[in-house]
Structure 1
Amino acid sequence: METAESTVESPRHTTPATPPFPRIISVDDHTVEPPHVWRDRLPEKYRDRGPRIVRAPLREMTFLGGKFAPVMGEEGEEGPIGDWWVYEDLRRPLTRLDTAVGCSRDEIRLEVITYEQMRPGSHSVPERLADMDVNHVQSALCFPTFPRFCGQTFTEANDRDLGLACVRAYNDWMVEEWCGPAARGRLIPLTLIPLWDAELAAAEVRRNAARGVRAVAFSEIPPYLGLPSVHTGDWDPFLAACDETGTVVAMHIGSSSRMPSTSADAPPAVGSTITFANCCFSMVDWLMSGAFERFPGLRVMYAEGQIGWIPYVLERADVVWEENRAWGGVADKVHRPPSELFAEHVFGCFFDDAFGLRNLDAIGAGNVLYETDYPHSDSTWPKSREVGEAQMAHLAPDVVERIVRGNAIELLGLTRDGLWPGA
């Protein structure tokens, strides 16, 4: 006779519950700086010459061959109205590509916009935290917009004293306001350096490290900015400061002011498909530079570079190092296979890379970080959890935990709960 007790399924036949997807720590989001950043924080003598917002019409704008070329119209001139950053001779508009979340794909065009036309979370801390909640994101590290991804706007300017003041003002705003008490530790600071002077850069790294900052933006390919390559010793003061303070060198695609393209008339879709290419070139530079041997605590990360390309590049780099290092110019400075250096020093970041995740064993679960790219057009917001769940379904829960938050906690010096301790 069947009893109620006998119909209960035996625990040995119970399917284990799938662990909930971890709260995301995004290592590549973006802030659109509010108009007051430099107005409020620059020394008085610089405020009338520092970056400021002007509302003006657009005369024309193109984005071909990886080159962005906007032209601001005069007051009263016909044309779409947008908010423009004005700084020395630079006229840089806010565009829909700066902040596209909340728009349908068919509405995302290369056009100028005003602050009122963007999602408030792009530039306001309370609204940013709310949008992070919608997207299952606990914490986020944000790259700049107007300074560009490593502060090259100030590097290209004429007045270096003003440029240094602008870098410091941005860093103060980033640490004290964007990542300040209102963020409750959920926004992780990423600071800039004066790229034109490695000693000043080192001092700025140490100044910010003293208040808990553990990430600094840098160019993926400095010579594209007219700066020394990582093969020289010119960057050693800066790299020594990063090594000494545990500050990770964060390089975003486009941080060399030259997006990959194939011709001067190639449409943006060509460059968008091959955005990882500069990261690929940059990583080989670093692996063959000897920098990781000179600075054993140095770590670098590639934001928005994706990860699927990494296994072959490491395989090829190892072959070249093994077979060609004598005539290849690296025998005296790279003493271990590049893949070993990668495992200890390099981190790849992705937001949508099913192929890379299928080949994770060839990359290393400890070298991969997750991101959402809010508020850009590539962003997976508000479905970053769903994308992650689909693409990581084949991975063990502990591996998913490492990728989605554990590696970021270790790399960026966060609390065990994934928060920035300096807030």
Structure 2
Amino acid sequence: MELPLIISVDDHVIEPAHLFDTWLPAAYRDRGPRPLTTGIGALEYTGGKYRFTMDPDGPPADWWIYEDLAFPYKRNIAAVGFDRDRMTLEGITRAEMRPGCWDPGERLKDMDLNHVEASLCFPTFPRFCGQTFAEAQDKEVALACVRAYNDWMVEEWCGDSGGRLIPLCLIPLWDVNLAVREIHRNAARGVRAVTFSEIPTHLGLPSIHSGYWDPFFAACQETRTVIAMHIGSSSQMPAASPDAPPAVQATLSFNNAMASLADFLFSGVLVRFPRLKLAYSEGQMGWIPYALERADDVWREHRAWGGVRDLIPEPPSRYYYRQVYCCFFRDKHGIAALDTVGRDNATFETDYPHVDSTFPHTKAVALEHVQGLDEETVHKLLRGNAIRMLGLDFDSARPAAS
């Protein structure tokens, strides 16, 4: 089987050191994020949280310094090019990274090596939905940083890629009216995706049930902006025992996506905004069949006391199939249940440059998953659904790569 070129809906970018010096207005630069290269001390990941120290005598790492935050880049988030057993929590400099992590021209070369035509990239230093700026004390500077990041994303990271790098923008999470303005500002220049928290209450923000976010949802519906929610965008990862190794959180990572989907299915948001599109990034999809079965069963049997009798007029799974996309890259169980997951709902990712990335073997990994599926379904999974979800200009009839 010859595979069509892939459109990856979940990759990541390591921000270049010049980002805020170049794109943040001069009046804010002395209070904005500053790059620094210095040593890092012991670094560990416990209970879903990183713990580290800055140590000038330690191994060098590239950092961002912003207000009272010191943020180091770590090898596990810039892992491509390293042997599997060297994808550790050690600090890393950009000079040690594969250049495609932070250089758009080099990223395109790596995409060519990896059978990928187009890529949607989540932020790193701002965190998956801009939590870094939402937690800042000076919100005037934070808003300028959000706008500067979005300008860099659209004009520099994606600008010369011929549409192959797809812009994914931030919103100022702390003010829904400012968020609406940023959605419209970016939509006016062709942006069709925004990153948002899977569970905003974990960030101290209003829930999706409160009605607070309805203007944001309305703006996204009006502009056809997809709301992309990455696992970990609630600044929490599912955990079991507090002293469990990080492998436990990695195994349970899909739980946040599952919880968020249940939240949305019973919130009424998808009823009030029937053209709104949600995308669950890096959540995989093998869990979806039972989650939908259980949601429909709860709706049938428990909707009166469960508080959704008058809120959700149809079985929740209908809203999923109409408005929600999942994302996978290693999930054979999900492929086996594809008719329930939804052949029109599943999209593919490579997770470059994270430790989970399939680079440079993405074509082989994809083939292993879709072997035996019909040509139309393969096209949908690897590119067609992403084109439709994001409203891309790519020609769906393009020939497969040789």
TM-score under structure 2 normalisation? 0.97
Cα deviations across residues 101-157 of structure 1 (Å, max 9, x unaligned)? 111101111100111010000000111000000000000000000000000000011
Partner Cα distance (2:215, 2:282) in 1: 27
Once the 2 structures are TM-superposed, how far is the Cα of residue 56 of structure 1 from its aligned partner?
A: 1.4
Q: Residue in 2 aligned with 1:400?
A: 378
Q: Residue in 2 aligned with 1:82?
A: 61
Once the 2 structures are TM-superposed, how far is the Cα of residue 418 of structure 1 from its aligned partner?
A: 6.5
Report the secondary structure of 2:38's partner residue: strand
Selected match of 1:95 from 65, 68, 74:
74
Selected match of 1:360 from 325, 338, 360:
338
Question: Any conservation in 2 of the 1:96–1:110 contact (CA below 8 Å)?
Answer: yes
Report the secondary structure of 2:248's partner residue: helix
Partner Cα distance (1:178, 1:387) in 2: 27
Q: Residue in 2 aligned with 1:123?
A: 102
State how many pairs are aligned. 397
Question: Any conservation in 2 of the 1:372–1:384 contact (CA below 8 Å)?
Answer: yes
Q: Residue in 1 aligned with 2:92?
A: 113
* Match runs of 1:42-61 below 5 Å: 42-61=24-43
Selected match of 1:207 from 168, 172, 185:
185
Q: Residue in 2 aligned with 1:189?
A: 167
Greater Cα radius of gyration, structure 1 or 2: 1
Q: Residue in 2 aligned with 1:15?
A: none
Once the 2 structures are TM-superposed, how far is the Cα of residue 394 of structure 1 from its aligned partner?
A: 2.1
Report the secondary structure of 1:341's partner residue: helix
One-letter amino acid matched to 1:324: H
Q: Residue in 1 aligned with 2:4?
A: 22
Percent of aligned pairs with the same residue? Answer: 57
Selected match of 2:348 from 370, 373, 389:
370
Cα deviations across residues 371-409 of structure 1 (Å, max 9, x unaligned)? 000000000111111111111112111000001000111
One-letter amino acid matched to 2:22: D
Partner Cα distance (1:355, 1:290) in 2: 30
Cα deviations across residues 234-277 of structure 1 (Å, max 9, x unaligned)? 00110010010000000001101111111321111000111100
Selected match of 2:264 from 282, 286, 308:
286
* Match runs of 1:246-325 below 5 Å: 246-325=224-303
Partner Cα distance (2:346, 2:54) in 1: 41
Partner Cα distance (2:76, 2:238) in 1: 17
Report the secondary structure of 2:235's partner residue: coil
Cα deviations across residues 305-346 of structure 1 (Å, max 9, x unaligned)? 000000000000000011111110111211110110100011
Partner Cα distance (1:246, 1:171) in 2: 18
Partner Cα distance (2:212, 2:53) in 1: 36
Q: Residue in 2 aligned with 1:346?
A: 324
Partner Cα distance (2:318, 2:360) in 1: 36
Partner Cα distance (1:313, 1:346) in 2: 13
Report the secondary structure of 1:103's partner residue: coil
Runs of at least 5 residues in structure 1 that lack an aligned partner in the other structure:
1-17
Q: Residue in 2 aligned with 1:140?
A: 119
TM-score under structure 1 normalisation? 0.92
Partner Cα distance (1:263, 1:169) in 2: 40
